[in-house]
Every structure is written in C-alpha cells, then in structure tokens.
Amino acid sequence: PKMFTTVIQRQWSSLGSGPSPSSLDKKLFNVGGDLSKALELPNIDAPVAALQANTDIPGEPENSLKAENKKAEQTLQRTHLSAAWAVKASTAASFFNRASLIWLQELQERIPLDDVRSHLHVNKLLAA
C-alpha cells in the first residue's frame, strides 16, 4: 500500500545502520518485489559517509568489550535482526490477507444473485 511505502520513505530520511539480511533470511522471509525494494538500504555517497564521527575507543571496538559483553551484544543483535525479519514477514502476511479479502469481495460482486449457494460459501470465507 502507498501509506506503508510513504512511512518507509520517511524512515529512510534519517538513516541509521544495521546488519544486512543474509541469504537464509531472504529465503525464510520472502516478500514481494515492491516491498523488498522499499525496504532496501539506500546508497550513501562517499563524502557523506566521511562525515560520520569516529568513535573515542582506540582500536577496534570489539577488542574493548569484555567477553560477557560481546556475548550479550551478539545476542541482542540476533534478537533484533530476527524481530525485524518477523515484522517483515508478518507485514507481508497482512498484505496477503487484505488482498485475499478484496479479491473475495470482488468475486462475490461478480457472482449472479440467484446463485445463493456460492454467495454463502464466499460469505463463510469472508467471515473466517
């Protein structure tokens, strides 16, 4: 839907960083082409990327973390990534459900009025 795409575009106006989906994520949480295009990270020019502030931690940030903090951070990253992909999959399922309801309503409008049995079956599907 256009509203969903508008919200995503508004989100992209203030970029953050996050992990890219793996091939397994793309296989498990497959969505339509339009939605996938909307959810892709936009390209950032090199001059813009150079404006990013450096951290105050000398050396690699991973080396400054304690072992238990590294494990906690990895767990949080995995949890966040799986939650993001679950939201993406549930959004796709919601779109599919809504499209199915619209299709059933259009089908019901095309069924002749004297075909009562078909209308009953479509009404049962719409109610489910």
Give pLDDT, residue 10.
74
DSSP for 7-41, written as a single string: HHHHHHTS----PPP-HHHHHHT---HHHHHHHSP
Asked whether residue 75 carries a pLDDT value surpassing 60, the answer given is yes
**Residue 3, in any domain of the structure:** no
1-20 confidence digits (pLDDT tens): 677 777 777 766 765 555 56
The packing angle between helices 67-110 and 116-127, to 10°, is 160
pTM passes above 0.75: no
For the chain, the domain total comes to: 1
**Residue 75, in any domain of the structure:** yes
Q: How far apart are the C-alpha atoms of 41 and 84, rounded to whole Å?
A: 14
Residues whose CB falls within 8 Å of the CB of residue 39, separated by 6 or more in sequence, listed in order:
8, 31, 88
**Residue 79, in any domain of the structure:** yes
Query: Where in the sequence is the domain holding 96, given as residue range(s)?
Result: 23-39+61-127
